[in-house]
């Protein structure tokens, strides 16, 4: 069991709700939802009961016919389970609730009854397609869960020092020093290669080699693709094909999503449902172009131009390397040591997207044309990410090296006459504050 930040969010829910709402943990498959929920139940309640609807007895499902009579429902429920629970001191977990939507609909009545607390878990890859004919209960709160972030990875490997040092340097805008920076960046490169899927992190912590870690991630990718193909069969969609095009999409110029990469004859009208489904499933993170850099970014989205990132960078690394003739062990060590001839820009930008998303930001970027005084004509520029911090627009540029050119930042500010207090250039060197720009190491993205 790894320490996860969502645990504190669950504690806040339990205290604030006090039995007046159920909690739904949303997220992609294999990110550790069931594990953290069961650990929470063991620690925070006198007792609990977990019903996994992917394997639950039919008797459990049939008993929901009695939801109109709570005494009968719970009498049968505990008979089937073979145990009872103390009222107001226990929690009932509906695990993999997407396999039985009626249980989710019943939350309204169960919460009103008030005997127990309720937590649901499920993968959005199935939840969203299974709720068409049910009433979503207003008594349900939801929390999004993501792969393990860098700080959670540090906790997993027993490091309780780096995160505080990173935050202190960020807040003071002072460099960590060459030796400390090198050590943290090395650890971050390991995190970037392994990723944040708990099974892969567990293999890393256990000291398994990169070949074994890669096998874990390949199995997760196969599971995702199998799920998507099943979805496509039922909904005549193309989510599986779109997902499998991701590495090639990210190798495009500026990582823009191109329908031609999916299929020469692909059209947005034929792929829009698949693209939306992938985004909702949380196995990808979409970054959408905004036509105007304003604080209310969502009002200016241009959905026809977007980037699609893998939800977990470790899975992207596996996807990129899967057809290589080199051994996974050798390739992974090359990534960790920054000694590999692949497009690391896509990996770094995917990592930044993942970290921003885990921090709660929606992802946007901005393209614009600008003619500088020393140019004869306009040129095309792009700001990799735009976020809003403290009601102010914050532009972010990502470099996979120590390159520090920032024309796109300068022209962006000049074109729109913006008063920008914060600008961040994410790169591989130690923190530097210069030209009113914070040049910060990629691992410091966790502080935004």
| pLDDT for the residue numbered 360 | 94
Report whether pLDDT(91) > 70: yes
- Give the pLDDT band (50/70/90) at residue 417: confident
Q: Is the dihedral of CA 352, 358, 361, 365 positive or negative?
A: positive
Q: Decide if pLDDT at 143 tops 90.
A: yes
Cβ contacts of residue 341 below 8 Å, gap of 6+?
A: none
Backbone angles phi, psi at 102, to 5 degrees: -60, -30
DSSP H/E element including 17: helix 6-17
- Percent of the residues in the chain that have a pLDDT greater than 70, as a whole number: 95
Of 320, 389, 387, 381, which Cα lies nearest the Cα of 348?
Answer: 320
Strands 90-95 and 47-52, by their bridges, are: parallel
- Report CA-CA distances (Å) from 193 to 3, 8, 286, 441: 20, 27, 21, 17
The mean pLDDT of 342-362, rounded to a whole number, is 91
Say yes or no to pLDDT of 426 above 60. yes
pLDDT mean over 113-132: 76
Cα three-residue angle 34-40-44, rounded to 5 degrees: 155
Give yes or no for residue 125 having a pLDDT over 90.
no
Per the CB < 8 A criterion, the answer to whether 374 and 357 are in contact is no
Domains and CATH numbers, the chain: 6-144 (3.40.50.300), 151-447 (no CATH)
pTM of the model: 0.92
pLDDT tens by residue, 149-179 = 999 999 999 999 999 999 999 999 999 999 9
Q: Which helix (H) or strand (E) is 402 found in, with range?
A: none
Note the pLDDT tens digit of each residue in 366-404. Answer: 999 999 888 889 999 999 999 999 888 999 999 987 777
Q: How confident is the model at residue 190 (pLDDT cuts 50, 70, 90)?
A: very high
Give the model's pLDDT for residue 32. 96
Predicted confidence (pLDDT) per residue in 293-333, tens digit: 999 999 999 998 999 999 999 999 999 888 776 777 877 88
Instruction: Classify residue 92 as left (phi > 0), alpha (psi -120 to 50) or beta.
Output: beta
pLDDT of residue 234: 73
Mean pLDDT of 79-87: 97
CA dihedral 440, 442, 447, 448 (to 10 degrees): 80
């Amino acid at each position: 069991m790894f320490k996860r930040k969502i645990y504190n969010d669950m504690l806040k829910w339990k205290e604030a709700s006090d039995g007046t709402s159920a909690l739904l943990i949303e997220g992609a498959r294999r990110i550790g939802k069931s594990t953290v929920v069961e650990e929470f139940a063991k620690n925070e309640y006198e007792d609990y009961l977990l019903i996994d609807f992917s394997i639950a007895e039919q008797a459990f499902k049939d008993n929901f016919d009695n939801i109109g009579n709570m005494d009968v429902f719970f009498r049968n429920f505990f008979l089937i389970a073979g145990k009872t629970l103390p009222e107001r001191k226990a929690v009932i977990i509906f695990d993999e609730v997407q396999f039985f939507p009626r249980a989710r609909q019943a939350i309204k009545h169960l919460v009103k009854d008030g005997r127990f607390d309720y937590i649901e878990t499920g993968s959005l890859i199935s939840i969203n397609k299974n709720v068409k004919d049910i009433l979503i209960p207003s008594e349900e709160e939801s929390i999004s869960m993501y792969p393990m972030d860098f700080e959670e990875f540090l906790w997993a490997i027993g490091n309780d020092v780096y995160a505080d040092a990173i935050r202190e340097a960020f807040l003071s805008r002072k460099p960590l020093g060459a030796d400390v920076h090198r050590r943290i960046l090395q650890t971050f490169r390991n995190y970037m290669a392994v990723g944040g899927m708990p099974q892969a992190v567990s293999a890393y912590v256990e000291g398994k080699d990169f070949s074994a870690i890669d096998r874990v991630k390949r199995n997760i990718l196969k599971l995702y693709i199998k799920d998507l193909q099943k979805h496509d069969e039922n909904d005549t969609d193309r989510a599986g094909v779109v997902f499998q095009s991701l590495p090639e999409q990210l190798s495009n110029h500026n990582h823009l999503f191109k329908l031609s990469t999916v299929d020469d004859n692909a059209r947005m009208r034929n792929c829009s449902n698949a693209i939306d489904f992938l985004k909702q499933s949380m196995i990808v993170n979409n970054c959408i172009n905004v036509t105007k850099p304003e604080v209310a970014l969502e009002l200016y989205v241009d959905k026809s131009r977007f980037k699609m990132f893998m939800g977990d960078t470790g899975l992207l690394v596996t996807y990129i390397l899967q057809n290589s003739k080199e051994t996974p062990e050798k390739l992974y060590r090359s990534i960790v040591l920054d000694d590999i001839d692949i497009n690391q820009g896509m990996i770094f930008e995917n990592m930044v997207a993942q970290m921003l998303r885990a921090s709660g930001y929606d992802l946007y970027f901005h393209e614009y044309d600008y003619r500088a005084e020393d140019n004869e004509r306009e040129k095309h520029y792009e700001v990799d990410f735009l976020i809003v911090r403290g009601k102010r627009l914050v532009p972010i540029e990502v470099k996979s090296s120590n390159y520090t050119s920032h024309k796109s930042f300068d022209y962006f500010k000049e074109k729109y006459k913006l008063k920008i207090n914060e600008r961040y250039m994410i790169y591989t060197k130690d923190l530097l504050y210069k030209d009113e720009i914070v040049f910060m190491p990629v691992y410091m993205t966790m502080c935004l």
